[in-house]
């Protein structure tokens, strides 16, 4: 007797939007530049999708993007480029021909503001190389692929940096990239404690918090300041 099997597509619609746009850009002979962590599962998936349709390249941050720009502007050799981006290129990627027309998409859990900064910077590089008149022939505007759920979370967190607080608590999965980014933002100003759930708060004086730099859960004491009135920031990641 046959088994009645149902299948469901549980892919995040924002991720799927990136994949669909990448496919369309590939059909139009664009190279796909992915802002992401090349070992992250989502970036690997996006890369595997874009690689089917077009040359693809992963950049981690502005530092790697500046290196890319230096090659586009003739300030780096092909050997330097291939060595620098080793393991982050699609098969048969040829920077001599594959960087004249491209679009930038992202791992949706990266900082959307950083992705936009990278895209804007590369647009200026393309203008410097080819001029403003032909920009649309070389650069695709993909800002509408940025995940608004992640972006809204990050924007709200940036607003929190304008406030005064005694400390911050961020709730989310320890392997969650978007949650880690919120921690990165908040710890610039506040003592910030990254926890996966309420059980990590052991008492008024003890908390088990994840350190995003050492990748370890640390038991911290006296995390609540000894004062009469407290201002506490509490937020969470999207996953």
Burial per residue of 210-237, b for 16 or more beta-carbon CB atoms within 10 angstroms, e otherwise: bebeeeeeeeeeebbeeeeeeeebebeb
Cβ proximity of 126 and 138 under 8 Å:
yes
Q: Is 27 annotated as catalytic?
A: no
Residue 213 CB-half CA count within 13 A: 4
The span from the CA of 226 to the CA of 222, in Å, is 8
Question: How many other C-beta atoms can be found within 10 angstroms of the C-beta atom of residue 177?
Answer: 23
The span from the CA of 181 to the CA of 61, in Å, is 13
State the catalytic residue, choosing from 42, 80, 128, 200.
42
| Closest CA relative to residue 109, chosen from 79, 163, 147 | 147
Longest alpha-carbon distance in the chain: 69
| Alpha helices by DSSP H, the chain | 13-27, 41-50, 62-72, 78-84, 95-98, 112-130, 148-160, 177-186
Strand partners, 105: 34
**Assigned token pair, 48:** 């595997």
The span from the CA of 64 to the CA of 142, in Å, is 20
Residues annotated as catalytic are 42
């Amino acid at each position: 007797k046959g088994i009645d099997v149902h299948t469901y597509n549980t892919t995040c619609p924002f991720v799927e939007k990136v994949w669909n746009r990448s496919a369309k850009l590939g059909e139009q002979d664009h190279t796909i530049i992915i802002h992401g962590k090349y070992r992250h599962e989502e970036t690997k998936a996006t890369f595997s999708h874009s690689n089917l349709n077009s040359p693809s390249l992963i950049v981690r941050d502005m530092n790697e993007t500046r290196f890319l720009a230096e090659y586009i502007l003739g300030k780096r050799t092909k050997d330097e480029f291939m060595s620098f981006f080793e393991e982050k290129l699609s098969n048969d990627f040829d920077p001599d021909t594959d960087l004249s027309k491209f679009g930038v998409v992202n791992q949706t859990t990266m900082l959307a503001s950083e992705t936009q900064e990278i895209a804007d910077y590369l647009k200026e590089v393309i203008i410097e190389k080819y001029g403003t008149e032909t920009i649309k022939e070389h650069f695709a505007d993909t800002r509408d692929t940025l995940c608004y759920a992640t972006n809204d979370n990050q924007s709200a967190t940036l607003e929190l940096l304008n406030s005064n607080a005694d400390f911050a608590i961020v709730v989310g999965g320890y392997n969650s990239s978007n949650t880690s980014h919120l921690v990165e933002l908040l710890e610039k100003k506040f003592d910030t404690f990254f926890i996966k759930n309420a059980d990590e708060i052991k008492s008024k004086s003890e908390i088990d918090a994840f350190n995003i730099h050492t990748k370890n859960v640390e038991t911290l004491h006296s995390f609540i300041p000894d004062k009469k009135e407290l201002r506490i920031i509490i937020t969470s990641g999207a996953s």
